[in-house]
Structure 1
Amino acid sequence: MKNLLMFVLFLVGSHWSVLGQNKTDAAGRKQGPWIKYQGDGTTPLYTGTFKDNIPVGEFRYFYPSGKVKMIVKHETKDRSYAWFYSEKEDLMSEGQYLKMKKDSVWKNYAYDGALLSTETYRSDQLHGERKVFYTQGQMETGEIKIYTVERYLNNQLDGSFEAYKMSGSLEETGLYVKNLKEGYWYRYYPERLNKDELKKYLEKCKKNGTIPEE
């Protein structure tokens, strides 16, 4: 008898839980908890809460397997923060959305959790610095070493470029203008330039009227 009562209470609770989801008001605006299902009708596509048709709080999006694909926390009407995951549940990237477009600095991760790169966005376009990091040994030592630094303007490479060795010493520098390399590019070796680079360096010094450094 006790088991039967528990089963009835479970069914009633489930019934009211379903009734409390996917509601719209008289104006047709989404209100309260929502679950949208994938094509199979049983696996959630996303879960979350709406207020006056606006997402609030935490939303979760799912792969067809049912594993979490993305978590979004809506901080304000226009601003939210998102985490993307692989089907193996590894964090792949995280960053901020402003009016549903990527904004500010986003972080991308390797499968072992090492920081792979950081990218600066404005209105869904790369705009600002993009840094790529060495992943070797990062998880063991906790040390993050820069591999390359690029600058973007309206989703195009535009500005100075630097590449670094794992030791931290400079390996290459140059300039991009609208996705194209501009002017002289230099590769650095321990305490010396190669013949062509030295020639270009001396020509540049002569043109600028500067004295070459020893």
Structure 2
Amino acid sequence: MNYFSVISVKHRIMKSILSLFFSLSVLTTFSQNTEINQLTSDGLKTGKWQKKHSSGELKYEGTFENDTPVGEFNRYDVNGKLTSTLLYSNGGKRAAAYLYNPNGIKLASGIYINQKKDSLWRFFDKEGVLFSEKTYKDGTLHGAYVEYYPDGKVHFQRTYKDGEIIGDYREFYPNGQLRSKKTYENGNPTGIVIIYYNNGVPKIVGKYNAGLKDGEWKFYDRRHKIVKTEKHENGAMIYTSEELISYWNDSLEIVRTREKFEKNGRSYLKSYYPTGELHREGYYWKGKKDSSWNYYAKSGELEMVRTFHKGKRQGNWTYKYPNGKVKSEEAWYLDRREGEYVEYYENGKIKIKGNYEKGNKSGEWQYFDENGVLLETKNFDLE
């Protein structure tokens, strides 16, 4: 082998060694670049990190620099569905957040500063429609707060300071009409409050003092006629006067009218037909009908008298036909029929006659035709 042949062989060997070294370097570099869940010599998280649920599904993935999150972080539920994306900046102190439901629809978006909600946050319903906008500072409501109807119209708006409502509060009907307005101080309503019907007519006008009802409160019907007055002192009602109260439908037609007042030291109520005639009247006991109640036809004729005891039917009851003739007579005891029952035809002849015991038909019952002729007899035995 001559000199030049030796040189050629050495050259080829050196070339192969260099090629192998380069290949190993590339593989080592590639391996280092794809490693995850690494720690620095100081034990700090660095590079790409992943964590999995016990089911094996990915729980989160993101990148750290010296234990500080940087860039994009994604979190997933146990089924592998994306639940949130956080975009970190400013040394991990700030994160733009996007939260999702299992169907991938955005539920909320906003900013975290030092892991606390800050600035404007938007919240969406399950269909992804904007539901509310809230402003935060250090994780606490601070600034404008607005909620919306599904069509985007404002439902209500208010302002917070350090978690407490301050200033003007406004609530609106779906048609955009103002529903109520009041003012807050230190988280409590104070001053004048007005609540409106959906046609813009005031419904209630009153005043708060440090969150407590104070002074005179007035209640109106849809035509702005006063129907009730209350007087409050330090949140306690010390006087109430209910006058003639009318109930209206959306077409401003009277559907019911009533009058409530004190009589013989007890609550007494009169209810009227839409056309103004007295319909019924009687006493109340703790919100329940009590004692005798009179029921009238539109003509003003007494149709029936009913007796109640603490809301339960009691005593003898008589029902009448529109012409005033008796339709039936029956007795009640603690809300159950008890004793004789008689039902009449409009010509005054008996139609049915029998007895009740503990709310059930008992003994012999007779059934007649319109001429008073007995048609049938039945016997009922209590078990």
- Shared topology, TM-score over 0.5? yes
1:118 and 2:133 aligned = yes
1:45 corresponds to? 59
Q: How many residues align?
A: 179
Partner of 1:161 in structure 2? 169
Q: Would you say the 8 A contact 2:141–2:161 is kept in 1?
A: yes
**Corresponding residue to 2:158 among 140, 150, 155:** 150
Question: Aligned equivalents of 2:146 and 2:113: distance in 1?
Answer: 22
Higher helix content, 1 or 2? 1
* Shift in Å, 1:180: 2.6
Q: How does 1:7-46 map to 2 (within 5 A)?
A: 16=31, 20-40=35-55, 42-46=56-60
> For 1:48 and 1:16, how far apart are their aligned partners in 2?
18
Q: Percent identity?
A: 25
Q: In 2, distance between residues paired with 1:91 and 1:152?
A: 25
Give unmatched runs, 5+ long, in structure 1: 1-11, 139-143, 202-214
Amino acid at match of 1:177: E
Match of 1:73 in 2: 87
Q: Measure how far apart 1:170 and its partner are.
A: 1.7
- Larger radius of gyration, structure 1 or 2? 2
Cα distance in 1 for partners of 2:129, 2:41 equals 49
1:56 aligned to 2:56? no
Cα distance in structure 1, aligned partners of 2:180 and 2:200: 14
What's the CA shift for 1:159?
A: 2.4
Instruction: Name the structure, 1 or 2, with higher relative contact order (CA <8 Å, separation 6+).
Output: 1
Task: Provide the aligned C-alpha RMSD in A.
Answer: 2.4
Cα 1:60–1:17 change in 2 (3 A) is farther
SS in 2 for 1:46: strand
Matches of 2:79 and 2:184, distance apart in 1: 43
Cα 1:114–1:195 change in 2 (3 A) is closer
Q: 1:195 to 1:161 in 2, by over 3 A?
A: closer
Deviation at 1:100, TM superposition (A): 1.2
Distance 1:24 1:173 in 2: 58
Per-residue CA distance 1:109-139 (angstroms, 9 max, x = gap): 011121000000000011111100001xx3x
Query: Could you tell me how far apart the structure 2 residues matched to 1:117 and 1:174 are?
Result: 20
Cα distance in 1, alignment partners of residues 78 and 64 from structure 2 = 23
Shift in CA distance, 147/107, structure 1 to aligned 2, threshold 3 Å: same
| CA distance, structure 1, for counterparts of residue 204 and residue 40 of structure 2 | 75
**Shift in Å, 1:157:** 2.2
Alpha-carbon separation, structure 1, partners of 2:45 and 2:164: 39
Q: How far 1:17 moved relative to its partner?
A: 8.3
Which of 142, 165, 173 is 2:181 aligned to? 173
1:187 aligns with 2:195: yes
Structure 2: runs of 5+ lacking an equivalent:
1-26, 207-215, 219-383
Q: Return the alpha-carbon distance in structure 2 between the equivalents of residues 65 and 17 of structure 1.
A: 30
Which residue identity does 2:86 align to in structure 1? V
Q: Could you tell me how far apart the structure 2 residues matched to 1:195 and 1:145 are?
A: 24
* Higher strand content, 1 or 2: 2
Contact 1:184–1:200 (8 Å) recurs in 2: no
Question: Who is 1:205 aligned against?
Answer: none
